[in-house]
Amino acid sequence: MLYLKTDEEIGLLRESNMLVSRTLAEIASILRPGITTLYLDQIAETFIRDNGAFPAFKGYGGFPNTLCTSVNDQVVHGIPSAYVLKEGDIVSVDCGVILNGWYGDSAYTFPVGEVSEEVKQLLDYTRASLEEGVKAAFAGNRIGDISSAVQTKAESGGFSVVRELVGHGLGRKLHEQPEVPNYGKRGSGPKMEKGLVICIEPMINAGKKETYQMNDGWTIKTADGKISAHFEYAVAVGRGEADVLTTFKFIEEVLNKM
């Protein structure tokens, strides 16, 4: 069952996702070599609560923190810790909020200090694969059109697409139907209608697509130890084009000043 949102409900979802966007910009303003992922988590939780919302991930299925912070070969669901970020690392920061009963959810992979050209290329292709997926998120298309667009772009750079983890519907619940894989065939899957709100979130590996879960029960890592990147937008399916409820503009304003 796909829950289609009204224009008013999409407006509320936009507010939730804008708060996530602003939270990620707060992270961008402090992220540098020498700080811990747990410190990022503390800053995010304070900012979310100060803005009248709740951290969506904290306690979700038993997850202990506000952010998922996944460093280098960690794909997603990394638990904030005493790990000290160092020059050349990358860290995927995935953030969720609940504001006025509606969920926001977005992720951005940050370079820590200067990173290699190979790392920059992975980040560029992962971000571009997200943008290609968004272009396919309009009424009358099918979920597979998004999946195919993401996969085609990522693999054109020589990268691989994680299979076990997918995007999802978003609304009064963090994870709603439908699932939104990052690989697949055009013309397959559920047909999208105006008012469907989904999270598109490519998880792209520099090496092979295989992953495994660590003993903490959460963190997903690449099987070959090579790095992985992750970007996520919440989008409302529209007529002719997607309405992106998330923005990376706030993050990039911060990064461009540094």
Given a cut of 90, whether residue 258 has pLDDT beyond it is no
As a CATH number, domain 7-257 is 3.90.230.10
Average pLDDT over residues 179-189: 98
DSSP state of 78: P
Given a cut of 90, whether residue 189 has pLDDT beyond it is yes
Average pLDDT over residues 207-216: 98
The pLDDT tens digits for 115-129 are: 999 999 999 999 999
The tokens for 143 are 């979920």
Given a cut of 90, whether residue 192 has pLDDT beyond it is yes
Give the phi and the psi of residue 163 in degrees, each rounded to 5. -95, -30
Return the pLDDT at 1.
Answer: 82
Q: Considering the chain, what is the average pLDDT of its residues?
A: 98
Return the pLDDT at 239.
Answer: 95
Query: Burial code of 135-170, b = ≥16 C-beta within 10 A, e = fewer?
Result: ebbbbebbbbbbbbbbbebbbeeebbbbeebbbbbb
Q: How would you classify the pairing of strands 220-222 and 176-180?
A: unpaired
Average pLDDT over residues 78-82: 98
Domain assignments of the chain as residue spans, ordered by start: 7-257
- Whole-angstrom Cα distance, residue 163 to residue 143? 15
